[in-house]
Structure 1
Amino acid sequence: MSEPFNCDSCKESLYGRKYIQVDDVPRCVPCYDRLYANTCQECKELIEHNSRELYYEDRHYHEHCFRCSRCSCSLADEPFTYQEDALVCNNCYCNEFSSKCVACGKTVMPGSKQLEYGGCVWHEECFVCCGCEQPIGAQSFIPDKSKYYCVPCYEGRFSPRCAHCKQILVQGGVTYRDEPWHKECFLCTGCKVQLAGQPFTTQGEDPYCVKCFSNLYAQKCSACDKPITGFGEGKYISFEERQWHQPCFKCSECSVSLVGAGFFPDGTKILCKSCNAK
């Protein structure tokens, strides 16, 4: 007579039946499932010994229960995430939570190349210059309201041009007669020295440095014979086709200032009242 070969739990004979041995202890399949099988997180039923079991974050699932909570596709061999206590496939997660490209309206997939500016997101290939329509990529760009331009296109369309050379004025420069000039283009008409940052005057529409204007156009002081330019010497005094720097307008005899006082011409001289009475 053969020895008994029974399930350690229910004591039923295992002869002619499928069994599972755990730590050298045999158990029938129903007892094994009852004692050792995990409960599926989704359907709450036991995951039997012959079912494929998937495990994630201390939770167990039947293979057919491990699916996206949005579209119900299987996640067994697909990338997924856990969002608000629910499994979500990569496509559903991106459609629901990822940013949309403001140019094409499509989802910007995680890990893909993208550009962000002003709270908006673009695919790298969708962020293009409104001028040349070429992708801007990592280049510098200039926003203009809701449009974006690469630097060459923006300068070509909007930057001022020098009144002299007609080239784009990128930065700096000077304004003369309400027109922009490069500093290196704004020159004295006479000696061609740069006028930016120094006093200058004009003759007609032409700018001149003080020295050239003095030599070419300024009247000479009748006392010191130096040019009267209006720079440095302040006001000047004019009398009968003669001019004087204000400090030079003095009595020819006693050198007292005649500014604001009566004077008497005497040939090429000018005299104060006292010297004229002598």
Structure 2
Amino acid sequence: LSHLGQMQSKVSPVVEPSPGSTLESILGDLTQELQDLGITAVPKGDCASCRKPIAGKMITALGKTWHPEHFTCTQCGQEMGSSPFYERGGLAYCQEDYHQLFSPRCAYCAAPILEKVLTAMDKTWHPEHFFCAHCGKVFGNDGFHEKNGKPYCQKDFLAMFSPKCRACERPVMDNYLSALQGVWHPECFVCGDCFSSFTTGSFFELDGRPYCELHFHQRQGSVCHGCGKPITGRCISAMGRRFHPEHFICAFCLSQLQKGTFRDHGDKAYCHPCYGKLFV
């Protein structure tokens, strides 16, 4: 009996972990017990986040090892596990936060551009959002024109912003003439009455329109009633008409008349002798 009592005195009591024991001490005790049983527990590496050994599952990413629960998005803290992630500056981001933080923004809708990006006017755009600011059509091979920071198709740009021809009021795109405080298509800069071009380069202006010499004087009433040509020098006004002095002649004898020394009959002028012979 005394021998049995001695054996009982050598049995060590079981020590329960105190509530204050940390996870590290528990893992340390477990590792020691495994070693006592002849099992060697070798850590797989230290977690890049918490700097503690990894004994179970782990994630390898960014050239480092992590506890699965510690491999999280730098921005939102979401555990990423095996989900796709983006790396920037040695940090990991979930897909949504990466695009919100770093992807280019569309100049039209301001949303991140996730796939194809179009660059124009020193800005980035979703390809489907780069369209004419007036008609809304996506630009084709004709390209676009910029005005006040907005893109326009060629048709709308010309209609809205190009100078208009003074004659036809269509946009002037290529060759043009500048005259009478406006621009003109070369083919539109013609006499306002006979539509003849000004081959000599000279023209006459009346009410903002160009005219050839003849039709300018016709409109001004300064065409000789005798010869039908413009009067540019001295003239005689008689019977409500104008004449070159040498063309104001007697309708019968064709002698040159002077203003105030003629008689008219039937819309014609006569010298006094011929008038007396014919009508007195």
Identity within the alignment, %? 20
1:47 corresponds to 2:54: yes
Q: Distance in 2 between matches of 1:172 and 1:190?
A: 23
Q: In structure 1, what is the equivalent of residue 249 of structure 2?
A: none
Structure 2: distance between partners of 1:142 and 1:94: 30
- In the TM superposition, what is the alpha-carbon distance from 1:114 to its structure 2 partner? 2.8
State how far apart, in whole Å, the 1-side matches of 2:119 and 2:141 are: 9
The CA RMSD over aligned residues, in Å, is: 3.7
Structure 1 position 98 matched with structure 2 position 103: yes
Q: For residues 41 and 11 of structure 1, do their structure 2 counterparts lie closer, same or farther at Cα, with a shift above 3 Å needed?
A: closer
Alignment gaps of 5+ in structure 1: 1-9, 15-27, 221-240, 243-278
Q: What's the counterpart of residue 67 of structure 1?
A: 72
Contact 1:108/1:114 (<8 A) preserved: no
Number of aligned positions between the proteins: 188
Mapped contact 1:124–1:137 kept (Cα < 8 A) = no
Q: Secondary structure of 2:159's match?
A: helix
Matched, 1:80 2:82: no
Q: Distance in 1 between matches of 2:212 and 2:163?
A: 24
Note if 1:128 corresponds to 2:135.
no
Deviation at 1:61, TM superposition (A): 1.6
Contact 1:81 1:87 in 2 (8 A): yes
Distance 1:170 1:42, change over 3 A: same
Matches within 5 A, 1:224-235: none
Q: State the Cα distance separating 1:149 from its structure 2 match.
A: 1.7
Aligned equivalents of 2:197, 2:159: Cα separation in 1:
29
**Aligned counterparts of 1:191 and 1:155: Cα–Cα separation in 2:** 26
Q: Distance in 1 between matches of 2:140 and 2:211?
A: 45
Counterpart CA distance in 2 for 1:140 and 1:98 is 26
The letter for the 1-side match of 2:201 is: P
Matched residue type, 2:172: L
**Paired residue for 2:167?**
164
Q: Which has the larger radius of gyration?
A: 2
The aligned residue for residue 200 of structure 1 is: 202
- Contact 1:185–1:194 at 8 Å: present in 2 too? no
Query: Is the alpha carbon distance of 1:61 and 1:11 closer, same or farther for their aligned partners in structure 2, counting shifts above 3 Å?
Result: closer
Is the CA contact 2:144–2:153 (under 8 Å) kept in the aligned structure 1? yes
- 1:127 offset after TM fit, Å? 2.5
Structure 2 match to 1:231: none
Find the aligned partners of 2:89 and 2:205 in 1 and give their Cα distance. Answer: 79
| Aligned counterpart, 2:28 | none
Deviation at 1:11? 7.4
Shift of 1:124: 2.2
The separation in 2 between residues aligned to 1:162 and 1:65, in whole angstroms, is 72
Q: Deviation string for 1:84-106 (max 9, x for gaps)?
A: 44212232122122333232222
**Alignment TM-score, normalising by the size of structure 2:** 0.54
CA deviation after TM superposition for structure 1 residue 162, in Å: 2.1
In structure 1, what is the Cα distance between the partners aligned to 2:35 and 2:52?
25
Counterpart residue type for residue 166 of structure 1: E
Preserved contact between residue 49 and residue 70 of structure 2 (Cα < 8 Å): yes
Cα distance in 2 between the residues matched to 1:78 and 1:121: 28
Tell me what 1:155 maps to.
Answer: 158
- Return the offset for 1:182: 0.7
The Cα shift of 1:177 comes to 1.9
The structure carrying a bigger strand percent of its residues is 1
Greater displacement, 148-157 / 160-169? 160-169
What is the TM-score when the length of structure 1 is the normalising length? 0.54
Is the helix fraction higher in 1 or 2? 2
What secondary structure does 1:64 align onto?
helix
Using the TM superposition, give the Cα deviation of residue 152 of structure 1 relative to its aligned residue in structure 2, in angstroms: 0.8
Distance in 2 of aligned mates of 1:40 and 1:137: 54
Aligned-pair CA distance for 1:218 = 8.2
Alpha-carbon distance, 1:146 to partner:
3.9
